[in-house]
Structure 1
């Protein structure tokens, strides 16, 4: 099979975040990635910016440089478009390619609000294109292993689940200039829409969606200091993004989830108390329960993607606790942490297995957007 001709939106050494280079390029430039995908074009804010990125990353003189989403969409040589920009430009940069009938992958969040996300989903359905969204922890081996345990019946029917999370990657009362948009809800990218959403999505991928839920939010530190990482210069501003979220809901009953089963989540930004876990997830069944913990992060797509996320299963009948092993496939384990789940998504796309593995598409993304909007915009 010929490699899939791929365009990347947002690969730049000048980008405010390095997600495209840190999470996408390692797989695409690996031997396995090159067998399945060929980077044929880049779209940046200008043609010159795209040309610079092509040179900086040594992608080859035959890679095309674009500064216009419409020009990229018109390129018949491009089969698959990957969007890894800041969230508030997702809609404008990816919509022309969807309208042109190209298959697309868009990082999470899909758009800055549920209205625009819904428009993209409707357009993708109309054009019958394949879509994927980067809520990629769904395909992490630790998540798939927990799902396998539940579906095996080892803990019986799920009666309830509790999650306690802190987000140490977010500083208390301070944020870098490059991430200052995290303080403005209307931009669409912030610790709740990104950090909480990534976490709650992989939990929903195992336990199913809420039948109904209530949420409480708090903004503990509205006054924020924005600092320049290069000069150290500081300015003061105010945030309108909650930094504490508490959710209590009832899960939809299913083959493995009992009627009335609860899911309780407590999420806060900032480091946890010294010596405590930053992520503790317990799933109680009528025959046993599962506990999953992480020391450094709940971000399975980032720091927590190593093996420091043990799974323990308590069998009530035997009154024994067993550790359940999980591991990365060799080719994924060889990639940097941030590239592992993204690499899995690329592989599943190339193999036509996105639906088989429950990878989120645009329609699923709209469901998650609605859930997050209910929390952020009550």
Structure 2
């Protein structure tokens, strides 16, 4: 099979965040990635910015630079468009390609809100675009191992589950200038939609969705300080984004989830109490209990890949506690931790196996957007 011809939106040498270069390029420029994909175009804020990025990342000279989403959409030699921009730019930059029938891989969140996410999903259905959303923790080996253990009945049917998590990458009362939009709910990108959104998604990918739920949110520290990393200058602002969310609900029953099983999730920005793990997930069943944690927090989709994620099993009959092992595939190990799960999405897409492991498309993103919008708005 010939390599899939790919265009990237948002690979910039001057970006405030480095997700495109750290999350996507390691795989795409690896030997395995080059066999399966060929970068043929970049779209940035201008054609000159795209040219600079091509030079900065030593991409082939025949990669085409674009400054217009409509020009990219008209390129007949692009099979897949990958959007890695800030969330509030997703809609305008990817919609022309969707309407042109191109396949698309968009980072999470899909759009600023459920309304725009639904529009993109509907457009993809109408044009026949095959879509994928960057909820890559669904294919993390630790998450897939948990699903395997539950489906094997190792703890019996699930009776309840609880999660407590902290976002270590977010300070309690300050933020960098480049991420100041995290404090503006209207932008759609924040610790609630990104960190909590990724976490609640992979939890649901293991346990299934809520049958019913209630959420309580709080803005504990509305007064925030924005810090310019280059100059050290500071300025005050007021955040309208919650920094605490607590969700209580009843899971849908399934083959391995008992009727009436509860899921309780608590997420806060900032660090936990000293000496306390920033992420612990417990699943209690009829015959035993599973426990998962990670010292980097709940970032299974990215930073968590760099830290061990132990999975412990407690047998209620014997009282024995043992650890279940999991590992990365050999080809994933040399990649940067941020890129390993993203790489798995690319591999599954190339092999036509996204449905096999429950990779989310735009319609799946709308399900998660709907849940988050009900909480936040």
Which whole-Å CA distance do the structure 1 matches of 2:373 and 2:32 have between them?
38
Which whole-Å CA distance do the structure 2 matches of 1:256 and 1:231 have between them?
55
How big is each residue's C-alpha offset from its partner over 1:141-188, in whole Å with a ceiling of 9 and x where there is no partner? 000000000000111100010000011110110000000000000000
Which whole-Å CA distance do the structure 2 matches of 1:92 and 1:31 have between them?
33
The residue number in structure 2 matching 1:103 is 103
TM-superposed deviation, 1:17? 0.8
Equivalent pair of 1:168/1:271 in contact (CA under 8 Å): yes
Which whole-Å CA distance do the structure 2 matches of 1:212 and 1:343 have between them?
34
What does 1:1-378 align with in structure 2 at a 5 Å threshold? 1-377=1-377
Gapped runs of 5+ residues in structure 1?
A: none
How big is each residue's C-alpha offset from its partner over 1:2-46, in whole Å with a ceiling of 9 and x where there is no partner? 110000000001111110001000000000000000000000000
Gapped runs of 5+ residues in structure 2?
A: none
TM-superposed deviation, 1:100? 0.7
**SS at the partner of 2:97?**
helix
TM-superposed deviation, 1:319? 1.8
Moved over 6 A (4+): none
Which whole-Å CA distance do the structure 2 matches of 1:248 and 1:236 have between them?
34
Equivalent pair of 2:294/2:307 in contact (CA under 8 Å): no
How big is each residue's C-alpha offset from its partner over 1:189-233, in whole Å with a ceiling of 9 and x where there is no partner? 000000101000000001000111000011011000001111111
Which whole-Å CA distance do the structure 2 matches of 1:258 and 1:123 have between them?
37
TM-superposed deviation, 1:301? 2.0
**SS at the partner of 1:374?**
helix
**SS at the partner of 2:331?**
helix
Q: RMSD across aligned C-alpha pairs, in angstroms? A: 0.7
**SS at the partner of 1:122?**
helix
Which whole-Å CA distance do the structure 2 matches of 1:326 and 1:333 have between them?
13
Equivalent pair of 1:278/1:298 in contact (CA under 8 Å): yes
TM-superposed deviation, 1:307? 4.8
**SS at the partner of 1:45?**
coil
Which whole-Å CA distance do the structure 2 matches of 1:41 and 1:282 have between them?
44
* Residue correspondences, number: 377
Which whole-Å CA distance do the structure 1 matches of 2:70 and 2:215 have between them?
40
TM-superposed deviation, 1:318? 2.3
Equivalent pair of 1:156/1:287 in contact (CA under 8 Å): yes
Which whole-Å CA distance do the structure 1 matches of 2:278 and 2:318 have between them?
29
Equivalent pair of 1:301/1:337 in contact (CA under 8 Å): no
Which whole-Å CA distance do the structure 2 matches of 1:53 and 1:286 have between them?
55
Equivalent pair of 1:307/1:327 in contact (CA under 8 Å): no
Equivalent pair of 1:135/1:198 in contact (CA under 8 Å): yes
TM-score, length-scaled by structure 1: 0.99
How big is each residue's C-alpha offset from its partner over 1:59-78, in whole Å with a ceiling of 9 and x where there is no partner? 01100000000000000000
